[in-house]
Amino acid sequence: MGVRKGERILTMLLYLSAGVSIALLAGIMGYVLARGIPQLNLTFLSTVQSARKGTFGILGNIVNTLYIIVITLLIAAPVGVGSAIYLNEYARPGRLVRMIEFTTEILAGIPSIIFGLFGMVFFGTVLGFGYSVLTGSFTLTLMVLPLITRNTQEALKNVPESYRTGALGMGAAKWYMIRTILLPSAAPGILTGVILSIGRIVGESAALLFTAGSGFLLPKSLFGKLFESSGTLTIQLYLSMQDAKYDQAFGIAAVLLLIVLLMNLLARCLSRQKNLGE
Window 120-159: contact mask with other proteins (x via CB under 8 A): -xx-------------------x--xx--x----------
Using CA atoms, how far apart are residues 136 and 60, in angstroms rounded to an integer?
16
Helix/strand/coil for 128: coil
At 1, is the secondary structure helix, strand, or coil?
A: coil
Query: Which range in 39-47, 100-108, 186-194, 219-227 contacts other proteins by CB under 8 A?
Result: 100-108
- Least distance (Å) from other proteins to the CB of residue 107? 6
Orientation of helix 133-158 relative to helix 95-109, angle to 10°: 130
Question: Taking a C-beta distance cutoff of 8 angstroms, is the pair 181, 167 a contact?
Answer: yes
Torsion of CA 174, 175, 179, 181, to 10 degrees: 0
Considering only the stretches 19-27, 39-47, 66-74, 154-162, report the one whose residues sit in contact with other proteins under the rule CB under 8 A: 19-27
Q: DSSP letters of 152-197?
A: HHHHHHHS-HHHHHHHHHTT--HHHHIIIIIHHHHHHHHHHHHHHH
Q: Which of 56, 129, 216, 250 binds other proteins (CB under 8 A)?
A: 250
- Residue placing its CB nearer to other proteins in the complex, 40 or 219: 40
Contact 204, 112 (CB under 8 A): yes
At residue 49, φ and ψ (nearest 5 deg) are -60, 140
Of 25, 34, 70, 127, the one binding other proteins (CB under 8 A) is 25
Site for other proteins contains 243 (CB under 8 A)? no
Q: Verify binding: residue 237, other proteins, rule CB under 8 A.
A: yes
Number of residues near other proteins (by CB under 8 A): 88
* 104 half-sphere exposure, CB direction, 13 A CA radius: 21
For other proteins, the closer of residues 31 and 163 by Cβ is 31
Question: By C-alpha distance, which of 244, 243, 242, 218 is closest to 231?
Answer: 218
Q: Which of 66, 70, 127, 261 binds other proteins (CB under 8 A)?
A: 261
Q: Closest distance between other proteins and the C-beta of residue 97, in Å?
A: 8
Chain residues 35-74 in contact with other proteins, contact rule CB under 8 A: none
CA distance 76 to 143: 9
Q: What part of residues 197-236 is at the interface with other proteins (CB under 8 A)? A: 199, 202-206, 209-210, 234
Q: Would you count residue 109 as binding other proteins (CB under 8 A)?
A: yes
Of 37, 47, 59, 118, the one binding other proteins by CB under 8 A: 118
Report, in Å, the least distance between residue 164 CB and other proteins: 15
Stretch that binds other proteins, among 37-45, 79-87, 159-167, 218-226 (CB under 8 A): 79-87
* CB-CB contact of 45 with 57 (8 Å): yes
Contact pick of 220, 242, 276, 277 for other proteins (by CB under 8 A):
242
> CA-CA distance, 234 to 238, in Å (whole number)?
6
Query: Shortest distance, CB of residue 95 to other proteins, whole angstroms?
Result: 11
